[in-house]
Amino acid sequence: MSGADHGRRLMVEQLRARKIRDERVLDAMAAVRREDFFEGADPYADAARAIGEGQTISQPYVVALMLEALSLRPSDRLLEVGAGSGYAAAVASELVARVDAIERIGTLADRARKRLEGRRHVHVHHTDGSEGWPQAAPYDAILVSAAGARVPPALLEQLADGGRLVMPVGPAAVQQLTLVTRDGDKLREQGLGGVRFVPLISG
């Protein structure tokens, strides 16, 4: 077993210890080589890492927690806002039928697109994430990997009936990971715990 394979196995064990229960999510985390998306030492440490341009790759636990909260099904269509390195999109692609990943920083979008080559049902778009990707809406699940004071209205509009959205909501110092579920015209919110993400920037 290589060092990377050993690190990935230990990561999954740590996720189980931290109460990640969805076996599909755990299998997806085990299937994706995190070292392909992060250029640095110890890629499987449970910590966020800088990826340039003032952005980060989220810690494995937070990626797993957000994906588990979305209750993903193989037929789902998922939108990710804030693709960054492309890692979360790669893991999500193991779980759903289609992933549209948005990244507003061109250099990061280009790198993510290259890293995700070969995953034919993943599409990386260089645009404003707060506007979503209406061309392929509605989405069964929306994963927002950046924080804001509120969920952008455009994202809620692109959430299918029965769809789930997870996003860190709040100011820079105090954010609550929030799950929003659509039931017809009604939206239900549930807090999942405190987190800290880079800000979602429009434009």
Distance between CA atoms of residues 156 and 160, nearest Å:
9
The closest alpha carbon to 171, from 191, 193, 200, 142, belongs to 200
Provide the pLDDT for residue 177. Answer: 96
For the segment 2-33, what is each residue's pLDDT rounded down to a tens digit?
667 888 999 999 999 999 999 999 999 999 99
Q: What is the pLDDT of residue 203?
A: 66
Can you tell me the mean pLDDT for 126-154? 96
- Tell me which of 58, 85, 93, 130 is the catalytic residue: 58
145 among known catalytic residues: no
89 to 44, 54, 143: CA distances (angstroms): 17, 19, 9
What is the pLDDT, as a whole number, of residue 1?
A: 55
- Higher pLDDT, residue 143 or 39: 143
Q: What is the pLDDT of residues 46-88, one digit of tens each?
A: 898 889 888 889 999 999 999 999 999 999 999 999 999 999 9
pLDDT value of residue 26: 98
Q: What pLDDT, in 10s, does the model give residues 101-112? A: 999 999 999 999
Domains in the chain, start-ordered, CATH in brackets?
A: 3-195 (3.40.50.150)
